[in-house]
Structure 1
C-alpha cells in the first residue's frame, strides 16, 4: 500500500469515527467508491475499524430453521455430499453451520481482515475435525470456479451490499457457479420499503425472483418473516442456463 492510500484510509477512518455505526459504514463505502480508490478498501477498513453492523455474532435463525424443519421436504438433504459457497462470508458463522451439512464449504470475502478473523474464529470452535471448509480472499464476480463448481450457495447481507447496477450480474454469476439442480438460498434484507442510499440497499423479493428466473432458476420456497424488519428467506433450484439468457 503506498503513502497516498495510507492517508486516504486514515481519512476514511477519521471521518467515520464521530458517526453512528451505519453512517460510519456508509461513509467508508462512499470513500471507497471515489475515482481511483480500491473498491474493496471500504470493506477492509470497516473490518479493521470494527464497524460491522451486519455481524450479528451467530447464524441467522431462518437458516437454521430451514435445515431443521424443512431440509428433507425441500430437497436440501440431496446436497449433503456437495460443495457449498458463502459469498461475503465475514466471520464465517454460516460456513461452519453449512460445513456440518455438506461435504465441503467455501467462504469468500474481499476483505483480508474478515478472512483472517473467520479463520481464527473457526479454529476456536469445537467439533470441526471432520468438517471440510476453507476461507478465501476473493471477489465473488471474478474468482476462479473450482472443478465441480457448487451444489449450494447461501446469500445473506451480500445482495443488499452490492450496487443495484450489479444485480443482474449477481444472478448471472450464480447461474455460472451453481450446478444444474443445485440450490441457492437467499435471505433478503432490508425489505421494509424503499430507503435512501446504501449499503444496505433496499431489496424487493419479487425483483430477486425475476432476476433469477431470467437466468434459469426456479423458486421452490418462500418463507415470510415474522416482522417487516426481519429478512425473508427464498430458495431457488438451478437449471440449465442458455448463453443467450446470460447475455440479456
Structure 2
C-alpha cells in the first residue's frame, strides 16, 4: 500500500534526523525536531477523537464494563479523578483535557524543548489557578516511569496512574521498544485504571519510520501478552471505536479503550 505520508516534507525531515542517529529513540533527535519545528504530529489542539470520546459521542453505541462489572456508557468508564499520564505529550494539548475532567494530569516528553514549548503554551492559556495546578509537564523517559529511575517522583511507584493516554507515541518509537511500551503501561496503570490508545496511522507501510505503521491488532498483541503476577491477563479490551465527529479521521485512526485488571 502506498504511504500517504510519504510526500509530507516534515515527515521526511523527521526520518532523516533519526536515520542519522545510531541511538534508538534518540532524545537528541527528538529535541532537534522541536528546535527545527519539524513536528508533523503537532495539530495545535487536543485531538478531536479524544475530545469526542470524553464528551460522550460513542455512549449510545458502546456500553462497556466498569471496574465493578456493570455496563456503562464508554465515557463513564474513563476515570474522572486520580492521576492521568500523557506519554510523548508534545505541547500538552491533551494533558489539559484530562485536567479539565478532574485528574491531576502529567505530560511527559523525552525532549526538553518539547517540555519548554508545553510550559509556554500552558502559560498562554489564561487558565484558572485551580485548573493550571492540575497540569504538570516534565522531561522524562517514558520507559522509566513506575520505577525508581523515574524523573517524576509522583510517577515512580507502580500503579501511579488511573488513566493513561497514548497518541503518536507508539507509532514514533522503534519497533524494538514495543514490548517495553506494553510493560511500562502495565506497571504504570493501577488496577481498574484505563488506557486510551488513539491508534494512528493504521494505513500504509512505513518500515523506516517515524511514524511506523501500527494497528489495533498490534495493540492487542502487545497488551494481550502482559500478565499479572498470578499469570492472569493484565488487560481487558473495553472498546475499539471508529472516531466520529468534526475533525476526526476515521479512515486512518481508531480509538481503543483498555482497563487494567
TM range (shorter): 0.7 to 0.9
> In structure 2, what is the equivalent of residue 28 of structure 1?
17
The corresponding residue for 2:115 is 115
1:205 maps onto 2:216 in alignment: yes
Task: State the 4+ residue runs in structure 1 displaced beyond 6 angstroms.
Answer: none
SS in 2 for 1:64: helix
Structure with more relative contact order (C-alpha pairs < 8 Å, separation 6 or more): 2
Gaps of 5+ in 2: 1-7, 60-71, 227-233
Show the counterpart of 1:151: 162
Q: Is the 8 A contact 2:78 2:194 kept in 1?
A: no
The equivalent position to 1:49 in structure 2, one of 22, 25, 36, is 36
Note if 1:136 corresponds to 2:138.
Answer: yes
Residue number among 218, 222, 239 corresponding to 1:221 in the alignment: 239
- In the TM superposition, 1:1-248 aligns within 5 A as 20-32=9-21, 34=22, 39-69=26-56, 70=58, 73-74=73-74, 76=76, 79-131=79-131, 132-143=134-145, 144=150, 145-147=155-157, 149-215=160-226, 216-225=234-243, 229-239=251-261
| 1:59-114 deviation per Cα after TM superposition (whole angstroms, max 9, x unaligned) | 11110011111476126466212100001000010011111113300000011001
The structural deviation recorded for 1:225 is 4.3
Gapped regions of structure 1 (runs ≥ 5) = 1-18, 240-248
Distance of aligned partners of 1:115 and 1:178 in 2 relative to their CA distance in 1, 3 Å threshold: same
Aligned residues: 219
When residues 59 and 222 of structure 1 are mapped into structure 2, their CA distance, relative to the original with a 3 A threshold, is same
**Are the structure 2 counterparts of residues 75 and 57 from structure 1 closer, same or farther at C-alpha, using a change threshold of 3 Å?**
closer
TM-score (norm 1): 0.82
Which secondary structure does the structure 2 equivalent of 1:57 belong to?
A: coil
